[in-house]
Structure 1
C-alpha cells in the first residue's frame, strides 16, 4: 500500500501564518515539501466574504475538498497541491438546490481512493445518498 499522507499543510490564516498577512478566517495552504524546505509563502485557497462562508474541508486521495456557501447555496471545490501551486477544480456534479453534505467514504485518510459520499435533503423530497468518484467525475445514486 502506498503512503497517502497529505502532501500539503492547510489551516485557518490566524493559526498558521503570522509572517504574511492573509484575510481573517481564510483557508491557506502550502506544499509540505516547500514548508519543510523553509518556505512560508502560503496560498489563499478560500477567502470568506459578506455572503461567503467556509463550511468544511477534508482530504481524499491527495486532494483537498472544500465546502462553502455563497448566498446560502452550497459550492464544492477540490484543490490538488503541487510544489509551486494548487490546481483548483469546481465540483459541478454535486447537487446545489438542497442541503448537501460531503464526506470521505473511507474512515482512514491513507485508505482514500477518490470516492466521496454525498447526502442531500430538502423539505419536499426524501434524503438521497450518492457516491462521487472524483477521479472519473461520475456521480451514482446509492439510495
Structure 2
C-alpha cells in the first residue's frame, strides 16, 4: 500500500508490525511474545483502520491478542487462516479460511488472497479517483 501493486498510485499508510525488530524484541522482552502485535496495535491503530492477520492455524496467541486489542480500539480485523473453525476467525470482522491439506498450501493461498486484496484496493482507488475527477468538472 505504501509502494504499489501493479500501477502507480498515491501511497497509503500501512505498517508491517513484524518488520520493526527493535520494537518486537523490546515488547517481547518486557511484555511477552503474546503482546508483540497487540501493543503495536494499541499504539498505532485508530478507528476506521484495518488490521490484517495471517495465521495458518488461526490459533496463534499473539495474533488473537492483536485482534482483541484492535477491536477494542475500533479497528476492523480481517483474518486469513487455515481450516475453519478457529479462534481467530471468531475474533475477526471478516475472514477467509483456507481448507488445505498442508500449512505450506495454506500459506501459498494466503499470498494469492493478499494479491487479490491489493488488486481490489487499487481498483477501488482508481474508481474513487475517477469519481473525484467527475465531481471537479
Bin for the TM-score computed over the shorter chain: 0.3 to 0.5
Higher strand share: 1
Q: Which has more helix, going by share of residues?
A: 2
